[in-house]
Each structure stands twice: as C-alpha cells, then as structure tokens.
Structure 1
Amino acid sequence: PEIFAWGLRNPWRFSFDRVTGDLWVGDVGQSAWEEIDLVTRGRNYGWRRMEGFHCYNPSEGCDTSPPLARPVLEYGRAVGYSVTGGFVYRGAEMPSWYGAYLFADYGFGTVFAFRAGEAPSANPVATAPGNVPCFGEDDAGELYVATGGSSGRLYRLVETAPEPLPAAFPTTLSATGCFSDLATLTPAPGVLPYAVNAPFYSSGADKARFLSLPEGGHIGFSGTAPWTFPAGTVLVKHFTLGEGEGARPVETRLLVVGEGAVRGYSYRWDEDGADATLLEGAAVEDVAWHDASGAAHTTAWPYPSRPQCRACHTEAAGGALGVSARQLDRPAPDAPGQNQLARLAALGLFDPPPPDEPTWRALPSPSDAAEPVAERARAWLDANCSGCHRPGGPTGTDLDLRALTELDHTGACDAPPVKDDLGLADARVIAPGEPARSVLLARLTRLDGLRMPPLGSDGFDVAGAALVEAWISGLTSCDDDEEHGDD
C-alpha cells in the first residue's frame, strides 16, 4: 500500500478545498492538544513525538526540527477536547466566511472558523445543540453540521447577525441579583437553596446550591429521567475552600437555561471576599486556605471556560446536573425535618407534580458508612461520571454509569476497554474482584490527560476512589449487584 503522509494520531474527518485542492485534516490529540493540519504528500506530522506544537514522547526536549511538519493551528482543553475536521467554505450564502476553514469540537459542540495566515480565534462562530461528529457540503458549497446521540439532527450553517456580547451579562456576582447579602450568601426572594445526596467532587470544596425559575415557570418532574427546566432558569453553585475562620469563597457558577441549550458563567471571588468578577475564559489560580486546625493549604483551582461547561453539562443528561429526584430526595437545607422534594412540590415548582408513591430510590451519600458499599459506589459514579457516560452521551463508548442501570448492563463489567488499557495486563473496564485490572479505577486516580473525570478538580477524590476500589474488590461477578437492586 502507498503511504501518503504519516505522523497523524487519529484523523477525524478530512476534506479537499474545492478551489485550491488543499487537503485539510482534523487530528484528534491524545490528552492535551487538538490540531488542524494542511497535509501534503510525503510529510511527517509528528505523532507520537509531538502533540500539536508540543513534545509528547519524550515530554520535554524532543527533536522538532524538519522534516516534521507543524500543524496550522492547535487548541487545548480550555477550548475543547476532540476536534472534528470540516471544510473550507466556498459557498455563496455566507460571504463573510468565504475561504475560511470551518471545523468543530466534538465534545463542546462549538464551530470555529480559521483563515490560513491569520491568528486563530478561540471564539466560536456557532454552537450546535449537541456533539458534532461530522460536517457535510452540498454541490453549491454550503455547509451542514450533524449532531450525534439519540437526538441527532442535521443543521445548515447560515450567517446571522452577531449575538449580543457577553458584556450584557452581569460582570459581578452582586449585579446578578441572586443574593440579597453576598457576605452571608442570603438568597434573594425567589432564589431557593437546595442540596444533593451525592455531590460531584471539586478539589474537596464545600458547595452551596440555589435555583431560580422564571415567573410562571415549572420544572418537568421525572422520577428517573432528567428534569426539564424552562428557559430563564438559573442554577447557582458556590464553592468554598477551608473551614471555620480559614474558609475562603473561591468561585460561584451560574448555569443559565436557554432555548435548547445551557450556558455556564463563572465568577472568581476577590481576595477580600467582598464580591466576585465574571471570567471570560478558563484560568487556574493557586488559592490559599486553612483547615479547621489552622493548617495552611494551597489548591490550584481550575476555573472553567464557558465551552468547558458543556463538556459535563451534556444534552444527554438534560444540561443541568445533580438536579433530579434521586439526588434531591432528602431533607431540605432551609426547612429542617421536611423532605426537599415535598417542599419544592408544595411551592408549586413541579408540573407534573411528583407521584404520591415514589417510583425512584434516593441515592445514598457516598460518605455514609451505614449504607452498603455497592450503593455508595454506584452513587459516586452516578454523580461524577454519568453526565457523559450514559445513553446518547458524548464519549463514543457504550458505558452507562447511571446508578439506576444494573451492573451487567453498564457495558463496564468484565468488558475490555475500548479506548486505552493504560498498560494494565488483561485490562477490563471493571474486573470483578480485581481492582488492579480495572481501567475505570485507574482513570479515577490519574492526574494526566487520561484522567476521569477529565476536568473540574486539582487532584482526585481519594475517598471516592477508595470507595470504588472497595466495591470492585468485593464483586464476584457481573451479576453481583444485589445490594444495588432495581429502580
């Protein structure tokens, strides 16, 4: 066979410019960088010595001299995590983009435009309502975007007037009107506090949660499926590091439900704790804090970009995470002794209302030692992994890590890994009774680009990983799920 070019890791869609004949390729990176290449015959594009413009193997000091061909652009995890190659636009209906190469990030659903010789922009020109596995081009040169998953659609790209600038969104947390008193996090009228049974791990931070519905809006209730929220709903999550007098507010995130999509906004708290400022992109900041004993600590706190929010808040999971019957079936934080779901129902927030007899079972707290290990481990995986690993999710695998899914139907138990065995001998996603062969556990304890979850934390959840390890150790088969039971 003839080799046209090499050094490409995982080309995901390529196309020829119908005017110049240039070959454009989207090449999916390993763990840190995605790249776009202009491919010519006989060139070496660097993998696995390089990933994008960076050394990969070895990680430092690699020889990057010619004949290695460099990509025309790269982007990192703040922008996306899996490139989808597109087309050079040569149609007539979008004159502003004529001659630009349009491509997408599969995971974030964002579409970008790039012109050779110009500095690339991290600002998308469009955002699809789902993952983008491919583009299409018709005879006239007009472009189409396909979205994947169970609700996949085909969309035509059209040129529209620019959306209002993000500056229209409040640039300080105090200006959002979510709180009547920032110092005490007292919610404003119409903003309700809520709590969950199994929280997502975020660098060990404590969290306070709030929600607000638009006037006349209702939550579409379900016992087992994702809830639906009216456009204009705002979900607030506030992060604090430390305890007692050493506690420090770090970040407050707003998830705003729009028509067919959710958008995330991150506010970084000022050092004096008086207010928080809207961030325009991803950032990492060393945050100093003290624990209850007064000991000093520093956490490299990752503030997500707005596209990164979409990586976890997937369409398959309903956009909003952690707001479900199984998570909120617990005591209300602002009404001791009252069930939280009953309280929200009494306030008229649901349509339809919850049934008198529950059709679901509440998730246990992963930290509650009185609950069975299997129940707790499945709850931890549900909270930390099932936003993506579920039917219709963006992972490209068949894993279903929702707690309501029986173990032998998760696609994980005694199943060979689809993407990477991480060097484990005779690896399985979950090897019953053998944590050392279980890729799922290995990913939970990594800190590189092969970690899971892939973002949202400085380190990994030591207690959560230990819980999952104990659960796997106690499994004897894929049918050994009696403690979990049916929903």
Structure 2
Amino acid sequence: MTAVIRVRALLVLLFSLVLAGCGDKPQPLLMTSGDNYPDNLSQWQVLSFSDSHLELAEGVVPYTLNTPLFTDYASKLRTLWVPPGKQATVVDGEIEYPVGTIISKTFYYPVAEAAEGTVLKASEGDKSLFSPEDGLPRDKVKLVETRLLIHQESGWVALPYVWNQQQTEAVLEWAGDYKQLTVTDIDGNPEQTSFTYIIPDANQCAGCHAEEDSRQAVKPLGPKIRHLNRDFTYSSGTENQLAYLMNAGLLTGLDDINGAPQNALWPNARENETLEHQAKSYLDANCSHCHNPNGAARTSGLFLTIDTPLDENYGFCKRPIAAGKGAGNRPVDIMPGHADQSILVYRIESVEPGAMMPELGRSLSHNQGVELITEWINGMSTDDKPCVAGGYVL
C-alpha cells in the first residue's frame, strides 16, 4: 500500500512538472490519505523558487491575521490552498476546511543591510516582505522553517519542514530542530540579541493545535473568522479576506461579514478599538490555543479566548491552581491596577523554562506584547478593590 502511495505521489509530481513546462503553474499535491509524506517541501508544490523570489503555486491564497502569534520576532508568510472544486464552509461560527486543504506558514527574518554572518532584522509585529505579484525576495530574507497542516480523511496532520543553509529546500524533520540566530532592531534597539530558535517537533505542533491532548483533534488555529476578518492587499487590489475567499468560491456559509467577529488589528489598531480589545486579542492569539475549556491548559481554569467574560475565569483575582515557580511569587493571575502583582504578566515576560508562557514557540520575550498587557492591567479600575475583598491582599 505504501508503494502505491509513493507511486501516486510521484505521478502527481511528474504531471505537475509537465504542466509547468507548458507554461502553467503546478498545482499543490493532493494527499487525502496515507502517511508517506514528501521528504522535501518542494514536493508539496505549495511554494516554488524562481530566480529571485519564493512564489506561490496556482490557487494558493496568501493571508494574514488581525493580531498575530509572536514567534521570536519572526515574520510569517501564511497560505491557504483548497482543492479545486471544493469549498470551506462556516458551521456554527467556525470555518471547516475540506479534505485535501493545505495550510502553510513560513517563518523568516529580513536580512540586515550590510550584515555579516547570522545577523538579521527583527520584524515589527507581523510585518511582511511578501508581495502578491512577486512573492518573497530571496536576497532579502533568511528562511527558517515552514509548517504545514494537511487535512486528510482521518483528520489534520502537522508537518515541520526546516530550510537548509543554502536556502534552496526545506526538509521534513519529525524531531524538529534548532537554529542559533542573532537579530537586531528589536523595538528599534540596534544592539544584537543572540538566541536559540527552536523548531517544534510534530508532536509539539499537535500539542498546540490539538484539543484535549488528542493528536486526532488537530485543528487550524490562525485561519478563523475573527482572525481573518481584515483587509489584505492582493494582486487584484485591497479586499477583506473573508470577502475575497467567498468571491473566489473558496468559502461559503458566511451571510454577513459586517456582523462577523473581528479581533483587534494589533499593533496598528483601528480607531475604534479599545485597549481592552487589543489586549484580549493579543491573549487570544498567543494563549487561548491552550487556555480554553477544551485545550491542553483547561485544568488551570484560566480561559483566555476573546469571548471569555472578564471575571475569575479570565484570571481576575484568580489564584493559580498549580503554577509552581511559574507564579513568580505573585498572588493572582490578574490583579486589577497592578501588573507587577499579576502572574499573567510575569509569565509572558519570562524566558525561564517552567515559567514562560507560551511554553513553546518562543525563546525571547515580546517587549511590545508585555507592554500592552501591562498597560491594560495597570489602567483597570481598583475602586472596589476586588482582589482585596476576595482575601488576596497586596
């Protein structure tokens, strides 16, 4: 059976190459079953190299998020491919993608001007060098990894691909990998910062993307309605991403975009977006994949999804259940008016194993994110002293 799958994948690849020779862009690999996944990223044919750019294959749609997940200041090129003739469908407020869908996320750093060795520029927020017309310029970026989510008949599969030193190919690394990197221009600081960039293994990918610690429940995190509900500049012009997908026949079941949920556009917030909405959007993007009623951190009782009310479930005056040294000798998760007494701030600014949150996906502290949450908590009203009234004295 494995040999049949291998032959089928090879035939698809050869057929796509023939089409490419005829002047048409190749289609991505459709793999709805089996586990003989390509060793090389190029075999999926989602991304391809021209002489000067990393380009998208035919039918592959780029997208971005309102508030992105922080990953050691890396920029990200996100793409979505839905098999021809198929559609994603909105069911109960969530997008369900058809079997065969491929979601990719390529992590890269801008190359510092006149830099030597591994010195790279840190991105600001989720700033991208991607152009819908040309792709990513090869001479201006350092490609680190590409993560794929493949929707098969048995469910979603997470695959980590690591780019080689020559920047010509990314190879499937089930066990993950790490890179020693040095970046500069973090929040405008010209000093260099060296760190270990950790590429998660396949099981760790599932640890964030799975519900209730089940590998079989792996699901996409980024391409959800509240994250996608924003404008993007395509080769055809600027358009709301949800509208673009519907007009392209790739999404159905969403009746009213104007009434659809929308996270804050952070760090460049829209005029009507409050500090609270920005902070909750940041925590939603960076924490809620585990901190939700079905997530890996559900036993903590701390739920940081965007729709969780601002009460004890959200950490207000809530004592930790089993944080250990992760509490930083602070009494509650969120102490209104006192970020310096809030465990939440301690954990998102820490880089110590066992204390830092998220546990995976970063080695550095996100200065902008810490400042956002700190400002939000310090600005909360303390007139009724809710934590003192609950017995948690400063």
User: How far is the alpha carbon of 1:290 from its aligned partner?
Assistant: 6.3
CA distance in structure 2 between the aligned counterparts of 1:325 and 1:392, rounded to whole angstroms:
19
What is the 5 A alignment of 1:270-281?
270-281=164-175
How many pairs does the alignment contain?
Answer: 314
Gaps of 5+ in 1: 1-162, 481-487
Q: 1:429 — aligned with what?
A: 333
The residue type equivalent to 1:454 in the other structure is E
Instruction: Pick closer, same or farther for the CA change 1:311–1:297 going to 2, 3 Å.
Output: same
Retained in 2: the 8 A contact 1:256–1:264?
yes
User: How far is the alpha carbon of 1:175 from its aligned partner?
Assistant: 1.6
Retained in 2: the 8 A contact 1:284–1:300?
yes
Q: Please point out which of 157, 160, 163 is paired with 1:266.
A: 160
Q: 2:281 — aligned with what?
A: 379
CA distance in structure 2 between the aligned counterparts of 1:468 and 1:437, rounded to whole angstroms:
13
Q: 1:155 — aligned with what?
A: none
What is the 5 A alignment of 1:98-117?
none
Q: Quick check: 275-284 or 362-371, which moved more?
A: 362-371
Instruction: Confirm whether residue 347 of structure 1 aligns to residue 248 of structure 2.
Output: yes
Q: 2:202 — aligned with what?
A: 306
SS of the residue 1:410 aligns to: helix
What is the 5 A alignment of 1:334-483?
334=234, 335-352=236-253, 354-356=254-256, 358-368=258-268, 371-395=273-297, 396-408=299-311, 410-420=313-323, 422=325, 424=328, 427-447=331-351, 448-476=353-381
Instruction: Pick closer, same or farther for the CA change 1:365–1:234 going to 2, 3 Å.
Output: same
Instruction: Pick closer, same or farther for the CA change 1:215–1:315 going to 2, 3 Å.
Output: farther
The residue type equivalent to 2:371 in the other structure is A
User: How far is the alpha carbon of 1:289 from its aligned partner?
Assistant: 5.6
The residue type equivalent to 1:427 in the other structure is P
Instruction: Confirm whether residue 219 of structure 1 aligns to residue 88 of structure 2.
Output: yes
Retained in 2: the 8 A contact 1:332–1:343?
no
What is the 5 A alignment of 1:101-180?
168-180=36-48
Retained in 1: the 8 A contact 2:71–2:362?
yes
SS of the residue 1:175 aligns to: helix
Q: Which has the larger radius of gyration?
A: 1
Retained in 2: the 8 A contact 1:227–1:318?
no
The residue type equivalent to 1:445 in the other structure is E
User: How far is the alpha carbon of 1:345 from its aligned partner?
Assistant: 0.6
SS of the residue 2:252 aligns to: coil
Retained in 2: the 8 A contact 1:408–1:479?
no
CA distance in structure 2 between the aligned counterparts of 1:409 and 1:329, rounded to whole angstroms:
29
Gaps of 5+ in 2: 1-32, 114-119, 121-140, 386-394
Q: Quick check: 450-459 or 399-408, which moved more?
A: 399-408
Retained in 1: the 8 A contact 2:143–2:167?
yes
The residue type equivalent to 2:157 in the other structure is R
Retained in 1: the 8 A contact 2:88–2:98?
yes
User: How far is the alpha carbon of 1:211 from its aligned partner?
Assistant: 0.7
Retained in 1: the 8 A contact 2:312–2:318?
no
SS of the residue 2:311 aligns to: helix
Retained in 1: the 8 A contact 2:330–2:343?
no
User: How far is the alpha carbon of 1:189 from its aligned partner?
Assistant: 0.7
Instruction: Pick closer, same or farther for the CA change 1:466–1:457 going to 2, 3 Å.
Output: same
Retained in 1: the 8 A contact 2:39–2:172?
yes
The residue type equivalent to 2:108 in the other structure is T
Instruction: Pick closer, same or farther for the CA change 1:421–1:466 going to 2, 3 Å.
Output: farther
Instruction: Confirm whether residue 329 of structure 1 aligns to residue 229 of structure 2.
Output: yes
Retained in 1: the 8 A contact 2:308–2:314?
no
User: How far is the alpha carbon of 1:259 from its aligned partner?
Assistant: 3.4
TM-score (norm 2): 0.72
Where is the helix percentage greater, Structure 1 or Structure 2?
2
User: How far is the alpha carbon of 1:295 from its aligned partner?
Assistant: 7.2
CA distance in structure 2 between the aligned counterparts of 1:392 and 1:410, rounded to whole angstroms:
14
Q: Quick check: 233-242 or 361-370, which moved more?
A: 361-370
The residue type equivalent to 1:275 in the other structure is E
User: How far is the alpha carbon of 1:294 from its aligned partner?
Assistant: 9.0
Q: 2:127 — aligned with what?
A: none
Retained in 2: the 8 A contact 1:242–1:290?
no
User: C-alpha offsets along residues 142-185 of structure 1, whole Å, 9 cap, x if unaligned?
Assistant: xxxxxxxxxxxxxxxxxxxxx96x5x211112221112436522
User: How far is the alpha carbon of 1:209 from its aligned partner?
Assistant: 0.5
Q: 1:282 — aligned with what?
A: 176
Instruction: Pick closer, same or farther for the CA change 1:336–1:293 going to 2, 3 Å.
Output: farther
CA distance in structure 2 between the aligned counterparts of 1:181 and 1:248, rounded to whole angstroms:
14
SS of the residue 1:302 aligns to: strand
**Cα RMSD (Å):** 2.8
Retained in 1: the 8 A contact 2:155–2:218?
no
CA distance in structure 2 between the aligned counterparts of 1:378 and 1:304, rounded to whole angstroms:
26
Identity of aligned residues (%): 29
Retained in 1: the 8 A contact 2:76–2:108?
yes
Instruction: Confirm whether residue 238 of structure 1 aligns to residue 106 of structure 2.
Output: yes
User: C-alpha offsets along residues 422-445 of structure 1, whole Å, 9 cap, x if unaligned?
Assistant: 455561111111112211111111
Instruction: Pick closer, same or farther for the CA change 1:452–1:478 going to 2, 3 Å.
Output: farther
Retained in 1: the 8 A contact 2:265–2:278?
yes
Retained in 1: the 8 A contact 2:242–2:257?
no
User: How far is the alpha carbon of 1:350 from its aligned partner?
Assistant: 1.8
Retained in 1: the 8 A contact 2:46–2:56?
yes
The residue type equivalent to 1:312 in the other structure is C
Instruction: Pick closer, same or farther for the CA change 1:376–1:479 going to 2, 3 Å.
Output: farther
Retained in 1: the 8 A contact 2:156–2:218?
no
Structure with the bigger RCO (C-alpha within 8 Å, sep 6+) is: 2
Q: Quick check: 317-326 or 187-196, which moved more?
A: 317-326
User: How far is the alpha carbon of 1:361 from its aligned partner?
Assistant: 3.3
SS of the residue 2:371 aligns to: helix
